[in-house]
Amino acid sequence: MLLFLSVPQPRPPGARTRAGAARVARWRRQRLRLQQLRRLRGLLRGLRGRPGAGSRRRGRMALCGQAAGAASLPSELIVHIFSFLPAPDRLRASASCSHWRECLFYPALWPQLRICLRVSPAEQPRLEFLMRKCGWFVRELRVEFAAENYLSGGGGPGDGGGADPGTGGEEVEALQLSTRWLEVLRTYLELVLCVLVSIRNNRIQQLFEEILSNSRQLKWLSCGFMLEIVTPTSLSSLSNSIANTMEHLSLLDNNIPGNSTLITTVELERFVNLRSLALDFCDFTAEMARVLTDSNHVPLQRLSLLVHNVSVMHKSLDNMPNDEHWKALSRKSTSLRVYIMAFDIKSEDMLKILKPSIPLERIHFDSYITCVSGAIVDLISRQYDKFLTHFILMNDVIDTSGFPDLSDNRNEDPLVLLAWRCTKLSLLAIHGYTVWAHNLIAIARLRGSDLKVLEVTEESIDFDQGELADQDVDPVHNLIEQVSLGLGQPWHAVMDIESLSVFTEPNRHFYREMQSFSEDI
């Protein structure tokens, strides 16, 4: 049933009033319960610097629904939690559920592995399991065999265990000891063989570089969040002929330590036919921008940049392109479009990054510590009104006082101004920021059917006191009806946020969107 086409039916006097009041009362009780739940889950969401998305809250506008449990946490958050635990505690925590067990053997958690074994056949299954899980990626492996399992008394094959061969009983004893020694030795060799067989395939980086060096017609190389498989020396494996014909290059990994980069300016000079590029923002320097504007390079059409707080902490923004560099890039290619994803970036850093001449088509904010300010949203709507098509605003900062309101101390809501100024806006997704119901209706009316996707989580929507005080109108039903009318299609707030990757797996969502963004040339 299309809600915006529904016709009011005759009902007894007072029936609508009672139903609306009961519904709002249920909504208020649900919001109170979820506020309490958020406080309880604050410890998990407050973990600093995790590699990806956090657990997402639900239920502020909800009339029904269950709270998300530990099993619904995204894999990246579980791995980050495991990274703080010693190995025995990781094993115990992984017993919580199958999803947690799957995250236990994430390669970044086990760069070093120390295994203590008894020389016993009973150890074989456990060792095989560990080697099957970790043998292909572990960088440092140490295997120790417990000394108490070796036979005492010099029970080697050439040593009768100190027995006198002239005595029959002692000969039997020596023979038994020798047999036991051989069994122990056989078991020991089998365990060692199990280890060696498992680690002989631990050549991922080498194999990756061999693939690059043996490539003959490679046009598209996309390496995103590949568990440090790609190294700063990987691209040197590509021949000049392949580098000269490469059309797309994606190198994204926010786990590269220190000031290391996956590509240098000198290396980029070889990629003269590049039409699409995806990099960490801190790696995209003014020198790289200058290289891309050289006459021997074809015009770059798609540029995806990942701005991560981890990179910003360890690398400087001083070398980033200035506004003149962006103007030169835009002159070189009038079809250049930029996609930026910002993880937990402070407002003062975003003000440095958002140069006026960036042809910004898509931007995705995801925050776990630092919220985006209304000034940043207002700046984006003014500077990029001719280009912006996608705007995603995610926040999972724990705050018992409620979600931040971007319209505080402002005459106009920045999100409404964004919808008004950015006439090409086709996707708007919001979670964790207060969106007033009347502003949501205004956004739908301003953009109409051109706004193909409007995703707002139920708990982000709030109503002013006037809407709640009107007992003749059901505020939830009225919101759904008015937004649907504005968009020209049925609309509902996002109820099951775990079903949408943009909320639960932002890294993966960005990578997929970057792929489609780059393919659309």
Task: Decide which of 107 and 236 is more confident.
Answer: 236
- Lookup result for tokens 């930029």: 338
**pLDDT attached to residue 142:** 79
For residue 182, pLDDT over 90 is answered with no
Q: Name which of 342-346, 426-430, 497-501 the model is least confident about.
A: 497-501
Q: Is the per-residue pLDDT at 63 higher than 70?
A: no
pLDDT digits (tens, 9 = 90+) for 470-510: 667 788 899 999 999 999 999 999 887 666 666 667 777 88
What is the residue whose two structure tokens read 């709270």? Answer: 67
What tens digit of pLDDT does each residue of 280-317 get? Answer: 999 999 999 999 999 999 999 999 999 988 888 888 88
User: pTM of the prediction?
Assistant: 0.66
pLDDT band, residue 2 (cuts 50/70/90): very low
pLDDT of residue 443: 97
Average pLDDT, the chain: 78
Q: Which two tokens stand for residue 127?
A: 């060792």
Q: Determine how many CB atoms are found less than 10 A away from the CB of residue 369.
A: 18
CA–CA distance, 433 with 479 (Å, rounded to integer): 17
Phi-psi category of 459—alpha, beta or left, where left has phi over 0 and alpha has psi -120 to 50? alpha
Contact 339, 361 (CB under 8 A): yes
User: What number of other Cβ atoms are within 10 A of residue 304's Cβ?
Assistant: 25
What SS3 string covers 169-233? Answer: HHHHHHHHHHHHHHHHHHHHHHHHHHHHHHHCCCCHHHHHHHHHHHCCCCCEEEEECCCCCCCCC
Instruction: Report the alpha-carbon distance of residue 445 to residue 419 in Å, rounded.
Output: 9
Question: Rounded to whole angstroms, how far apart are CA atoms 354 and 194?
Answer: 54
Which of 69-83, 136-150, 213-227, 386-400 has the largest mean confidence? Answer: 386-400
Q: Whole-angstrom Cα distance, residue 105 to residue 78?
A: 11
> Predicted confidence band at 194 (pLDDT cuts at 50, 70, 90)?
confident
Secondary structure (3-state) at 275: coil
Q: How far apart are CA 471 and CA 463, in angstroms?
A: 14
What confidence category does residue 52 fall into, taking pLDDT thresholds of 50, 70 and 90? very low
Listed range (29-33, 314-318, 387-391) with the worst mean pLDDT: 29-33
343 — phi, psi (to 5°)? -100, 110
What average pLDDT score do residues 389-416 get?
84
